[in-house]
Amino acid sequence: MKLTRFRLLLLTAILLAAAPDAPAQAQKKKRTADPEGQPVRKAVPESVKVERDIVYATYGERKVMLDLYLPKKPASEKIPCIVVIHGGGWRSGDKTRFAAQAAALAEQGFATACIGYRLLPEVEFPAPIVDCKAAVRWVRANAAKHGIDPDRLGAIGGSAGGHLVAMLGTSAGVKELEADGGNAGVSSRVQAVVAMATPADMSKFGERTKVDAKLIALISPVTHVSKDSAPVLLLHGTKDTVVPMAQSELLLEKYKAAGASAELVKMEGGPHAFWNATHFDETMKLSVKFFRKQLGGAKDSQ
């Protein structure tokens, strides 16, 4: 599929207007509050070390970076790594937004790569997806030096980040999404995904009558679900007014129809960004349990 610049610009413009934290009522009244709320701010546990500002992808002069969280205590075997992806409507936020989640997983014995990615409107879709795949490739290519098992990689994200991790879990090998950036030829497949408040069918976000349906389909997780999709744990707040619960339910249905593994947990009373203060502990407990089931863990961390 050839993605023309005109079509990508058109799609980007519409997604900017339709993003979960876009202004309401056709932009008549600008929102001042962040619908995802303030990110959780927690100190890095004493048991965790952080290697910051690692370049994982380069596009000309543009560098894209991640922070790598690792347990300080050496493990007796290689450990799984979780790629951690922030939300922000694909147009705001940075790699510090999900730092607390990355640190919490590392405290439980996982390596975590908390990534930044290029945002709209600096870039056009599918660039954010391309970056996330580049991050997985970097982790796999550099696994040995960090004590990571390249065959046990997962991903977690919320809102726009939920969409991006769902794409990682469903679209392995889709050529249009595997652009350059580094480590070409290395697989971007992940083995487990926790997707929170996930936009799954991008045709449901904003006016789309003038947009090429093929472009919308390309960046929609529901398009790519197959029996080989990574097992997914879907988490969604019951009081989410930004991304409808129906989005996670649709992705669950697609997984079941394909014969792939999926589970949906409805976070009772949870707002859109339930993974912040209101449901942080519950979110991390469920995520750790799921990742250990799907990926295992270092013997010393369990």
pTM beyond 0.85: yes
- Three-state SS at 14: helix
Provide the total of helices (H) and of strands (E) in the chain, helices listed first: 8, 8
Residue in 71, 87, 40, 124 with CA at minimum distance from that of residue 298: 71
Q: Where are the alpha helices (DSSP H) in the chain?
A: 5-18, 99-107, 127-141, 160-170, 213-218, 221-224, 245-258, 280-295
User: Given this structure, which CATH class describes domain 5-21+45-297?
Assistant: alpha beta
| Domain residue spans of the chain | 5-21+45-297
Structure-token pair, residue 9: 């610009």
Q: Along the 302 residues of the chain, how does pLDDT read in single tens digits?
A: 455 554 555 555 555 555 554 433 333 334 445 678 789 989 999 999 999 999 999 999 999 999 999 999 988 899 999 999 999 999 999 999 999 999 999 999 999 999 999 999 999 999 999 999 999 999 999 999 999 999 999 999 999 999 999 999 999 999 999 988 999 999 999 999 999 999 999 998 754 445 588 989 999 999 999 999 999 999 999 999 999 999 999 999 999 999 999 999 999 999 999 999 899 999 999 999 999 999 997 655 54
